[in-house]
Amino acid sequence: MKIIIVAGTPGAGKTAVLLHAMKHLKAQEKKIAAVKIDCLYTEDHKRFNKIGVPTLLGLSKDMCPDHFTIFNLGDMVDFATANCSDMLILETAGLCHRCAPYTLNSLGVCVIDATTGPNTPLKVGPFLSTANVVAITKGDIISQAEREIFRERVLEMNPDCHIIETNGLTGKGTAELANCFSGANEFIYEEEQLRHNAPFSICTLCVGETKIHKKYHRGVLRHINGVQTYTGE
């Protein structure tokens, strides 16, 4: 089975781009399944179902969506297998710009919005810098010069990535994106590992502490000066 993991900032157009790519894959008679991960609420899974793609919904709620995705990946693979799919497309929630959900043999796809400014690629971390494919959206709203600057910033962060300019409204670039999906490596769940460590936070805030004074907090903590410490047993 091929696994496609799609990450990106909120509102970048991940779902819209994926809908077009899925239609191209279905036209090629690919057997695909999808998983939609969000934090609190979404109806995007209904949009995938509407075009005939079996879709599993996961809401991470209080858990980091990356941790939720990685922990539940086996169930997602089982879902795709049960639907006789040879490709699973997983869309993760955009949250803290520190997402790192790609595994070594998945196809890592970063969807990023060109209207967010030329410095955005420098801010978003591993979900851009470790991606195989970077789909730049909303480039039609900015000037050619701004598009070129944005593209160069992406390449500064990830010089080996394959850049595709896409449009979630018209479907521009999504046929090329679908072809990238088809060329992904085979994925074996039992033998996989992460391409980059996931974001972490092990502290008393994570388990429900509401007092804000520093003396009440334990765990892995990062101070304002950048020093990281561990306080606890």
Virtual CA dihedral for 191, 24, 9, 205, nearest 10 degrees? -40
Mean pLDDT of 17-37: 97
Least confident of 3-7, 39-43, 162-166: 39-43
Banded pLDDT at 17 (limits 50, 70, 90)? very high
pLDDT tens track for 116-145: 999 999 998 899 999 999 999 999 999 999
pLDDT of residue 10: 84
96-122: pLDDT as tens digits: 667 888 999 999 999 999 999 999 999
Residue 83: phi and psi, rounded to 5, are -95, 15
Confidence of residue 231 (pLDDT cuts 50, 70, 90): confident
pLDDT (mean) for 69-74: 90
3 strand-pairing partners: 88
**What does the pLDDT average to over 183-199?**
91
Other C-beta atoms lying within 10 Å of the C-beta of residue 116: 16
Mean pLDDT of 179-186: 97
Q: Bridge partners of 55? A: 34
- The mean pLDDT value for 149-165 works out to 97
- Give the other-Cβ count within 10 Å of 113's Cβ: 21
The 8-class DSSP code of residue 106 comes to S
Give yes or no for a contact between 101 and 7, defined as CB atoms under 8 angstroms apart.
yes
d(CA 101, CA 98) in angstroms, rounded, equals 10
**Helix H or strand E segment including 165:** strand 162-165
Around Cβ 207, how many Cβ atoms within 10 Å?
10
pLDDT at 222: 81
Q: Which of 12, 20, 184 is nearest to 104 (CA)?
A: 184
Tokens linked to 102: 């790609």
Encoded tokens for 147: 């598009």
DSSP string for 133-151: EEEEE-GGGS-HHHHHHHH
User: Looking at residue 204, what is its pLDDT?
Assistant: 86
Mean residue pLDDT of the chain comes to: 92
Q: For residues 203 and 208, what is the distance between their CA atoms, to the nearest angstrom?
A: 9
